[in-house]
Structure 1
């Protein structure tokens, strides 16, 4: 078999890292788990990777993690490379719920079990899906808005959406709207995509403010966009609350400083940990649940 130098190097680094872990189980080179992450340029997914790595060390598996850099074409290439390396299971955090289908079908053809993490796939054969309940989390954000601004009159809301087509974008927005839609004093003045990116969150919010600065609430589908929005709100001296989603370290710090009002906190490390645990169960021939939910909570100041 022929592998790219990059993939062989990454696999070697992973093996060296795992082998140096004090007190871990002996790594079995025949027990490889592949993990494809949409992007490692996001603290949430870095935490997910870290949780998976810790669990793999405990169980004695070699975990090979590849970064898709939010590119569906790279995602598919990553999956193909991992299949060639002989992984016993594939953990995948999709770049896009539709685009990932082709990548999953590659694994299906080789009978490699697929576990999706955080974002769902809109096709292909999935053994199990692990995520927070994004609809419930969006609803929690909507309820938080009503609790915080119950005595206010008109409430103008800005919604920063994630990557179009991603299940997290769809579900978090659906949960948020399920609480606020139809309320007489609630008006959505803008719902725009900022692709789960901090810089885009800043730019989109700045553009919205230029058109209408009468904003009371910004809800972002993840913390990275919320942090960008918080910067734009602060610069413009607007008295608006900013709510994020994920509970990453930067967002929690921003909440503590009063720069953000709240974040709907996930446990990405737990999602990664559960993924590796499921992969082992599948490898051992055990039955696993089709859907597994990780708990959520509101962190606020």
Structure 2
């Protein structure tokens, strides 16, 4: 694998950064676009260039997604221009516009700012560049070729039903939300609340925003624990926040009082916590990374692909943890996705 290092936005040289000790995998921290290329694979799309755009890349789920995208692209011989907006919608627009100017063959993207980044999407549309979207859908009058996601609303409703069953219809719960601008975050809240609010015996006594951050969730949960003497369960919109909440609960000596669930099921640390009974469970949220590149390959070959691909999102608990986690090697097991069953 090779790294090309030419910055189009400043006088800084990525090659200079690398010589100075900054690795290619760390370039995302700088916010500069960088190119990953491979010449080893011989496939129908080898040598073509795709753009890969993320709103930010510090979350463990997003890191896993990036690995999946780059790994699959390398196997197919695709060159990849990687951009990281570092949580700035304005930068994300510039990144997308830059990919349009560069004339990449296709863009694979995920955004947490679907409303704000519409100008960048329109720039890609105007350039006639195909778009494969992962996770949150796009908004506004823009075009894309394929959207890969899970049934987030349906999964959140299942989560709500799980809470009703586990609490036997009675109890006090708290809710920790992710990034407000994320469509996925909104649906994880809406679906769960639909079920919870229909059960008057269960009260949402506190809710807060932690932006998918473990550190922020720690603080939010500490505030909840000070304000609420009776909490039976903690609903978190991702695993990072579930782990932050767990830390606060443990430090407060209240671990036996409540259960916690999250979303993602990606990191071995999370799966180990479920195996040990520290977290009650999580709902799998695939990274979509490898599959998105496979879809991109088909689009680049002129093949038709479905507009929407909906992935399963099972719940991982202590009872089925062995399907998703190898305790001996402390690595996650990723059940194969039947792409044909999804419509590919």
Quick check: TM above 0.5?
yes
- Report whether the alignment pairs 1:287 with 2:294: no
2:94 pairs, out of 54, 58, 77, with 77
> CA distance change for structure 1 residues 13 and 88 in 2, over 3 Å: closer, same or farther?
closer
1:120 correspondence with 2:137: yes
| Count of paired positions | 292
Partner of 2:53: 36
- State the TM-score, normalizing by the size of structure 1: 0.89
Q: Deviations over 1:114-164 (max 9, x none)?
A: 2211111112212221111111221222122223222xx631111111111
Q: 1:64, CA displacement in angstroms?
A: 2.1
- Could you tell me how far apart the structure 2 residues matched to 1:279 and 1:65 are? 15
Larger helix share, 1 or 2: 1
Name the CA distance, whole Å, in 1 between partners of 2:80 and 2:13: 13
Tell me the CA shift for residue 182 of structure 1: 1.7
Query: 5+ unaligned residues in a row in structure 2: which ranges?
Result: 1-5, 16-26, 28-32, 319-344
Query: Within 1, Cα distance between the matches of 2:96 and 2:46?
Result: 19
Asked if the contact 1:35–1:63 (Cα under 8 Å) also holds between the matched residues in 2, the reply is yes
Counterparts of residues 1-301 of structure 1 (less than 5 Å): 3-4=8-9, 14-15=36-37, 18-19=38-39, 24-25=41-42, 30-123=47-140, 124-150=142-168, 154-238=170-254, 239-249=257-267, 250-268=269-287, 271-301=288-318
| 8 Å contact kept, 2:35–2:81 | no
* Preserved CA contact (<8 Å) 1:25 1:57: no
In the alignment, the residues of structure 2 paired with residue 190 and residue 115 of structure 1 have an alpha-carbon distance, to the nearest angstrom, of 37
Q: What secondary structure sits across from 2:36 in the alignment?
A: helix
Give the 3 Å change call, closer, same or farther, for CA 26–288 of structure 1 in structure 2.
Answer: closer
Question: Secondary structure of the residue that 2:275 maps to in structure 1?
Answer: helix
Structure 1: gaps of 5 or more residues: none
Contact between 1:255 and 1:261, CA under 8 Å: does it hold in 2?
Answer: yes
Cα root mean square deviation, aligned: 2.3
Contact 1:27 1:61 in 2 (8 A): no
CA distance, structure 2, for counterparts of residue 68 and residue 7 of structure 1:
18
Cα separation, 2, equivalents of 1:32 and 1:13: 9
**CA–CA separation in structure 1 for the residues paired with 2:44 and 2:79:** 6
Output the CA distance in 2 between the equivalents of 1:64 and 1:217: 43
CA shift at 1:8, angstroms? 6.5
Give the C-alpha shift of residue 248 in structure 1. Answer: 2.1
The higher-RCO structure (CA 8 Å, 6+ apart) is: 1
Distance 2:158 2:114 in 1: 23
* Secondary structure, aligned partner of 1:115: strand
Q: What SS does the aligned partner of 1:14 have?
A: strand
- 2: distance between equivalents of 1:242 and 1:163? 19
For residues 265 and 34 of structure 1, do their structure 2 counterparts lie closer, same or farther at Cα, with a shift above 3 Å needed? Answer: same
